[in-house]
């Protein structure tokens, strides 16, 4: 298996799917001539041409509106929003059209649309460009939400998303593009809506996804030196939400924490905690704890930004508390 970066994995997935299916095309700000804000689509414009790699105006509502229309006519658009913060400018299209048209018209139309976007903090981009509003989009039935934490999952999930007939928000974390990982050889897909145990353990369960998977793995390495074996469940998809591996892990360890980069109030962790208590209450030996971002607009100052974001030490502390 090759070891490549998250950026390369996402780029490979897009390239392979565009080669496989001529109905797949890309549109967004600077995706063409410039090669993408994060260099994911570098070289695509020269290879596939302007008909399939379309630079758009700085108008997110226009990008998503055009992509919805294109999807309804039989193509498979991959619309790129430079950051998930800009998705708020296209909220009506995303939640009132993309998420609902299939249902409102009794399945007479399908909407094979992927919205690639970048979320998360840690790059000193300020409060309006560093949010993690994943839970907002996962709230709406009809819209699938995917947020991979490894290069292999990023490639497999993106390929599956492009082949799907459903509208999908594909959220990439801004600080994971340089993360390296092994990629299986050949054409492979990762099913959307499946969680995965990324690390086996027996003392405590950590439920997480995206960037926080990386931090949780590092916390588990530290705790292993003290004899604490942490099991880590990576959600990978927020909708559909696969609680099977989470519940089975809680039944084994009897203790759990949830780690998310978003704010704690009304967040992903709140939903996971509620479902654990609903489905596995009799197996819990200690209160479930949540690790999340401080409830402030994320500061620009680097030191303050890191103080607001979850850190490895926060995860270690939470695990020791439930132990």
Q: State the pLDDT at residue 230.
A: 98
Please give the positions annotated as active site.
Answer: 60, 129
Assign 94 to helix, strand or coil.
helix
In angstroms, the CA 102 to CA 107 distance is 5
Count Cβ atoms within 10 A of the Cβ of residue 297 and give its class: 0-12 exposed, 13-18 middle, 19 or more buried.
exposed
Tokens found for residue 133:
């509003």
- 108: which residues sit within 8 A by CB, 6+ positions away? none
- 6: which residues sit within 8 A by CB, 6+ positions away? 150, 151, 154, 172, 176, 177, 178, 179, 180, 181
Sequence-ordered alpha helix ranges (H) in the chain: 6-20, 44-48, 60-72, 91, 101-104, 134-138, 151-163, 211-224, 244-253, 268-280, 302-308, 312-322
The residue assigned the tokens 């479902």 is: 275
Query: Which own/partner contact pairs does 223-227 have at CB distance under 8 Å and 24+ positions apart?
Result: 223/316, 223/319, 223/320
Q: State the pLDDT at residue 87.
A: 97
Q: State the pLDDT at residue 1.
A: 83
Provide the Cα torsion 211, 290, 219, 177; round to 10°.
Answer: 0
In angstroms, the CA 303 to CA 4 distance is 30
Q: State the pLDDT at residue 308.
A: 98
Domains of the chain: 2-183 (3.40.50.970), 196-322 (3.40.50.920)
Whose CA is closest to 76, among 49, 52, 93, 100? 52
Beta bridge partners of 118: 172
pLDDT in tens, the chain (323 residues): 899 999 999 999 999 999 999 999 999 999 999 999 899 999 999 999 999 999 999 999 999 999 999 999 999 999 999 999 999 999 999 999 999 999 999 999 999 999 999 999 999 999 999 999 999 999 999 999 999 999 999 999 999 999 999 999 999 999 999 999 999 999 999 999 999 999 999 999 999 999 999 999 999 999 999 999 999 999 999 999 999 999 999 999 999 999 999 999 999 999 999 999 999 999 999 999 999 999 999 999 999 999 999 999 999 999 999 99
In terms of phi and psi (left: phi > 0; alpha: psi -120 to 50; beta: otherwise), the region of 172 is: beta
């Amino acid at each position: 298996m090759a070891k490549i970066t998250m950026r390369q994995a996402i780029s490979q997935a897009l390239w392979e799917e565009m080669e496989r299916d001529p109905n797949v095309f890309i549109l967004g700000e600077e995706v063409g001539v410039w090669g993408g804000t994060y260099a994911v689509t570098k070289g695509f414009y020269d290879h596939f041409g302007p008909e399939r790699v379309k630079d758009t105006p700085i108008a997110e509502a226009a990008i998503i509106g055009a992509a919805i229309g294109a999807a309804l006519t039989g193509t498979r658009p991959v619309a790129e929003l430079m950051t998930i913060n800009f998705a708020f400018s296209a909220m009506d299209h995303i939640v009132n059209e993309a998420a609902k048209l299939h249902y409102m018209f009794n399945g007479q139309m399908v909407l094979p649309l992927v919205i690639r976007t970048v979320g998360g903090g840690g790059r000193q981009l300020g409060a309006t460009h560093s949010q993690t509003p994943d839970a907002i989009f996962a709230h709406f039935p009809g819209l699938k939400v995917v947020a991979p934490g490894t290069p292999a999952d990023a490639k497999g999930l993106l390929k599956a998303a492009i082949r799907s007939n459903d509208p999908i928000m594909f959220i990439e974390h801004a600080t994971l593009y340089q993360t390296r990982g092994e990629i299986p050889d050949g054409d492979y897909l990762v099913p959307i809506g499946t969680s995965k145990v990324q690390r086996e353990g027996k003392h405590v369960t950590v439920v997480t996804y995206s960037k926080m998977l990386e931090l949780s793995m590092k916390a588990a390495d530290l705790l292993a030196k003290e004899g604490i074996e942490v099991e880590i469940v990576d959600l990978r998809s927020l909708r559909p939400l696969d609680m099977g591996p989470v519940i089975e892990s809680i039944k084994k360890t009897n203790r759990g924490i949830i780690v998310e980069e978003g704010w704690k109030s009304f967040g992903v962790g709140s939903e996971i905690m509620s479902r654990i208590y609903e489905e596995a209450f009799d197996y819990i030996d200690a209160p479930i704890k949540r690790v999340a971002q401080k409830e402030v607009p994320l500061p620009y100052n680097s030191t303050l930004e890191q103080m607001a974001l979850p850190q490895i030490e926060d995860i270690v502390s939470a695990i020791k508390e439930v132990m």
